[in-house]
A and B are shown apart, each in its own frame.
Chain A
């Protein structure tokens, strides 16, 4: 049967563009369909992209990628209403090739990546929404319906990179059930400030940048916050567990406003003008919420497959999207050449994910998102630790210094933390992060 394309990739985000690059370079006819007016126009994120995986697809990508700043300072901050404890790491190594993390605007970054797919020979179709799957009577996916007149497109393989809401994965029955508990909402303000002001306030120069990840400061809603620097803007945002957000009566922008007013954050953004307000949902639960990754004629990659890694000290997603898209592309090429595009012919996809960081990290850290968003880690431990440190450094003369062990015991009791819970959470954390 003749088809319009060898493969159709839905969504020109990081997953979709990488899949299309691989397919096009292998000489396959590939369509890359994007519902926005340009690639990246629907996309925002909580911060930092780690493009190491691009070494395979775009050598020396750092010489051309639309990067704002290279992250050379990474801070993890613990906030209570009146306290802040920060672990601040700086490495000049991250400010030179081959680099590590970077800040970038997603509409810039994603459009750049899609340009590479086009350069490789993919057909990028923008302003086109895919409205459903075309399926053979035997159930196999054989194409997509779009909202264009006569907009049906056929191919033996469809790769759904259609984002966190993935209507295609749901239509194909790959998500057994959708639970709000597995998702968080990210809201962000991009705030304009002169570059020199940002450099001074964040103690960086040139293209060096800062990434601050925050535990606490979310008005009692389980989640976290972030601050990071672009060249002449600072992004401030909160990530909020949907079920907890919905159960209380404070709106997301009010929670964000409170974080912005915190004494540890307010001076960083003082005098800035809001340039953009944005929001996006995050598939927070990672491995525990992942759908089935393949069906006959169909693969799912990126956020559509819940590939986002929200593991507290590691908050990544674009890299997992790019990698999963790349491996889906490789598996598609394999399947097309073997003539078997059923789930069995696409088995190379999952195998590749399992043999690389994509599923290895997700499997190892499968309990981390739940632990990080748990009530104890969110509400009890930060207060306990902040109080402990405050007492350590409060000079209470003429009283002598108390022993740290004694303060710890007292503060643990005051915070209502049970030793058994602390031991259990410590063990979960050790197994995940150790």
Chain B
């Protein structure tokens, strides 16, 4: 398969994440339920935010690049609380 058409899972499989048990992203579902623009769903490069049929957002934090895009694009005050993961955890970019 040409690398132009890889699945999202395959794309992410090459990045190393040392996952901590505490979620460093917290989403307030009540605020999200009132959001119709869902900027985070489009913009998060790790595709961590997924809309549900009920009009909410489910998210996971495990494969986060810690870039900050989600809270920067979010238009809803208080919807996304975001901090860095515990020391030594999260994304680890590759050395040669």
Contacts and interface: CB of A to CB of B under 8 A. Distances in A.
Interface of A: 35-38, 40-44, 66, 68, 105-108, 111, 126-129, 131, 146-148, 164-165, 167, 178, 180, 183, 185, 187, 189-191, 242-243, 245-253, 257, 260-261, 266, 269, 272-281
Contact of B96 (A41, A66, A167, A250): A66
A108 B69 contact: no
B45 A252 contact: yes
A277 B14 contact: yes
Contacts, number: 134
B11 A147 contact: no
B40 to A, nearest CB: 8
B67 A279 contact: yes
A251 B47 CA distance: 8
Question: What is the interface residue range for chain B against chain A?
Answer: 35 or more
Given A105-B94, A126-B87, A279-B67, 10 more contacts: A36-B92, A107-B93, A127-B88, A128-B87, A185-B67, A185-B69, A191-B3, A243-B73, A252-B43, A281-B67
Contacts of A252: 43, 45
Contact of B73 (A146, A246, A272, A276): A246
Interface in B8-67: 8, 10-12, 14-15, 18, 37, 39-40, 42-43, 45-47, 65-67
Interface in B76-96: 83-88, 90-96
B74 to A, nearest CB: 9
A274 B10 CA distance: 9
Nearest to B73: A246
Given A37-B18, A146-B87, A246-B39, A165 B12 contact: no
Contacts of A278: 15, 65, 91, 93
Contacts of B83: 131, 167
B42 A248 contact: yes
Contacts of B90: 36, 42
Contact of A245 (B42, B66, B87, B96): B42
Contacts of B73: 180, 242-243, 245-246
